Structure 1
Amino acid sequence: MQLVHQLTPLQFKDVFSFLSERSYWSKGIDEIRLRKALDHSMCFALVDGKQLLAFCRVVTDQATFANLLDVFVLEPYRGQGLGKKLIDAVMTHPELQGLRRFTLATKDAHSLYQQFGFNGLANPEIAMEKYVTDIYCNPLN
């Protein structure tokens, strides 16, 4: 097993399939939008040979802020500690050190992220978001 930062076309297909069809957070995302998102992110993938096992990406300025996104382990490879290995690779990456704020959103994996120092918002009263629930109904061209 190895960590890679560039996906092969087949690995991209696996990422797209999972995110667009099986994830709760980006179901329906179109391929053009996903390619653009990955092109503007630091990608982390665990692979065995050419087989994708797990994936995530980070959007960052590499100086003050980062946001962890699209974290998943493909179904046949769950329960083997791959999520923990993937997040460890992110959190120890040289370009992601010394950041003031590192954020993420999760519905069900709080205990995983808490192992890496993530907690609830320090000042939730200052946090805001603009969230468009049906954005994936309008594919990018």
Structure 2
Amino acid sequence: MDNVAVVVDDIEAAIAFFTELGMELEGEAQIEGVWADRTVGLDGVRSAIAMMRTPDGHGKLELTKFHTPAAITAGPSAPPPNTLGLHRVMFAVDDIDDTIARLRRHGAELLGEVAQYENTYRLCNLRGPAGIIVALAERIG
């Protein structure tokens, strides 16, 4: 897998959010032209992208802000965790409580609560940029 793309309405806020999670901004670009239209399957594509890289360099998240055509919301703006389709992105963290506190400063909202799975993990789900669900996992065992 090369990357997972997330369409956002505020790319700078999304960059700040994922940087707070420890990701690094690899690069930014403006995307437009016939090749973009053909690739995406839309006419008149003009978008900004930011490629975020995990610290180990193995995972990437592409943040995309569509200027034209404008992004649309399909269904509820904050779909519940049992919605069909791409569900969430999970990040391993060293300190889940500290990470939650830092992400709240970027608008994250905790869904449910932090729960412990056996003696192995502390886990939670947060609502992040553009309403996506971001899961956190802290290994404890």
Specify the structure having the higher radius of gyration (Cα). 2
Name the structure where helix makes up a greater proportion of residues.
Answer: 1
